[in-house]
Amino acid sequence: MKVLSAAAAFLLASTVSAQTLKSAAASKGKYVGTITDPAYINGSDRTYNTIALNEFNYVSAENSMKWDAIEPSNGGFSWNNADTVVNWAQQNNMKIRGHTLVWHSQLPSWVANGSWSKSTLTTVIQNHVRTVMTRYKGKIAQWDVVNEIFDESGGARSSVFSRVFGGLDEFVTIAFNAARAADPSAILCINDYNLDYSGGKATGMVNLVKRLKANGVPIDCIGSQAHLMVGQVSSSFSSTLSSLCSAAGKCAITELDIRAKTPISSSGLSQQQTDYTTAVRACVNLSNCLGVTVWGITDSRSWIPQVFSGEGAALPWDGSYNKKPAYSGIIAGFGGSSGTTQQQTTTRQQTSTTRQQTTTTNGNTGGNCSARWGQCGGQGWSGPTCCSQGTCTFSNGRRQTFASIVVEMTF
């Protein structure tokens, strides 16, 4: 009897250790993706590459397929970096999310600052979409055809595209029609952030997609970026994802990371594990959610610290490539074993105490305003309610400063 138990324990241990993110995802019929770029593929950091290959089965180019990288001058295409990503993925049997065709950010100035009529900008969009998608026809499974087109209330974000066309419908239609024509087999997505809870932005997305689909525009999927914050994953995350999925027919979590104030505490790590499970499980529970892409591997290469001052630690591996509790959180989200329920309960209580303390420290009673580019408001926000510069506007239930931050960082 004793021998049998030891054997069983050994078997269990080997099963658990053999599990990877991609095997856990596949067991639920989902994919799990990460990001890469030539610097990761060919650079000296081999660990990034090894983990990408061992743990993930889908990949997005972090920057190489953005408009400024791929068509830096009008009709002048620069393929090397995007080709490197596509070839690497194909050689390693990874599927690809193409990111992204039409976006106001990382947009070359010849597009952003051109003086366009509807007709000339239509030609520019069609040429960009057709040329990029045709080159990778049959090689890229999903495309983010348009990215971040909404403002926080669900209206049109101001961009060269929305200004020239006087709203969203026309240029989104042009982009999606060009995309379908270029590669009829690719899944075509509309992608955005702050779709993590019910509210104006998610409603705006649902309404636009339903309206355009009713008019025959070939939108297949809504991508929810899911740049989340530890301890603040909304109770409506799952139902909101479900409504996105229903509106488009398919959905995906496209850029998941869950950031914290750094250094992250041990209770923060534990809460982050729970939050990763919540986010991943929301996709697993929807038959038409395609999969989950995590926006990176290691905290040392995450975009978060450069953009959100004082925040980071958002990914499943720490800066030295040790697996964090978040890793088990993702496995658990995909229905694998996590086995730390008791510990999570205890640390959740600790986290809530810590959060109360933070509120007292950061509260606005002493006139302690959010820094320029800092966050001021958002889902579950308990920090300052005043902002030190015009770029930061307090709005409860919204995260206001994200777009401005990305713009500043990329110029």
Alpha carbon distance 388, 60 (integer Å): 36
Say if CB 201 and CB 192 are below 8 A apart.
yes
Q: Is 196 in the site for ligand XIL (CB under 6 A)?
A: no
Q: Is 255 in the site for ligand XIL (CB under 6 A)?
A: yes
Look at residues 253, 244, 318, 323 and name the one whose alpha carbon lies nearest to residue 283.
253
Peptide bond preceding 263: is omega within 30 degrees of 0, i.e. cis? yes
Q: Is 311 in the site for ligand XIL (CB under 6 A)?
A: no
Q: Is 192 in the site for ligand XIL (CB under 6 A)?
A: no
- Give the helix ranges, DSSP H, for 19-159: 21-27, 38-42, 46-55, 67-70, 80-91, 109-112, 118-135
Q: Is 36 in the site for ligand XIL (CB under 6 A)?
A: no
Strands 227-229 and 58-61, sheet pairing = unpaired
Question: How distant, in Å, are the alpha carbons of 150, 200, 267, 339, 355 from that of 271?
Answer: 30, 27, 6, 15, 12
* DSSP-assigned letters across all residues of 232-275: ---TTHHHHHHHHHHHHS-EEEEEEEEEEESSPPHHHHHHHHHH
Nearest-approach distance from CB 67 to ligand XIL, in angstroms? 11
Residue found by looking up tokens 């959905």 in the block = 251
Out of 225, 273, 298, 347, the only residue in the binding site for ligand XIL (CB under 6 A) is 225
Out of 116, 237, 303, 317, the only residue in the binding site for ligand XIL (CB under 6 A) is 303
Q: Which two tokens stand for residue 213?
A: 């689909």
Alpha carbon distance 347, 288 (integer Å): 33
Chain centroid to CA 201: how far? 16
Window 334 to 353, contacts with ligand XIL (CB under 6 A): none
Q: Is 147 in the site for ligand XIL (CB under 6 A)?
A: yes
Out of 31, 55, 62, 220, the only residue in the binding site for ligand XIL (CB under 6 A) is 62
Q: Which of 20/194 has CB closer to ligand XIL?
A: 194
Cβ neighbors of 390 (< 8 A, separation 6 or more) are none
Q: Which of 55, 148, 152, 311 is catalytic?
A: 148
Residue 255 is among the residues annotated as catalytic for this protein: yes
Q: Which of 182/294 has CB closer to ligand XIL?
A: 294
Q: Which of 147/159 has CB closer to ligand XIL?
A: 147
Which span (111-119, 235-243, 331-339, 403-411) binds ligand XIL, by CB under 6 A?
403-411
Number of residues counted as binding ligand XIL (CB under 6 A): 9
Say if CB 177 and CB 125 are below 8 A apart.
no
Q: Which of 196/255 has CB closer to ligand XIL?
A: 255
Q: DSSP character for 106? A: S
Look at residues 179, 192, 244 and name the one whose alpha carbon lies nearest to residue 218.
179
Peptide bond preceding 100: is omega within 30 degrees of 0, i.e. cis? yes
Residue nearest to ligand XIL (CB): 303
Q: Which of 132/369 has CB closer to ligand XIL?
A: 132
Q: Which of 124/314 has CB closer to ligand XIL?
A: 314
Nearest-approach distance from CB 341 to ligand XIL, in angstroms? 33
Out of 63, 243, 338, 347, the only residue in the binding site for ligand XIL (CB under 6 A) is 63
Nearest-approach distance from CB 193 to ligand XIL, in angstroms? 6
Which span (120-128, 205-213, 271-279, 402-410) binds ligand XIL, by CB under 6 A?
402-410
Q: Is 375 in the site for ligand XIL (CB under 6 A)?
A: no
Radius of gyration of the chain (CA): 21
Interface contacts to ligand XIL, rule CB under 6 A: 62-63, 147, 225, 255, 303, 406, 409-410
As annotated, the active-site residues are 148, 255
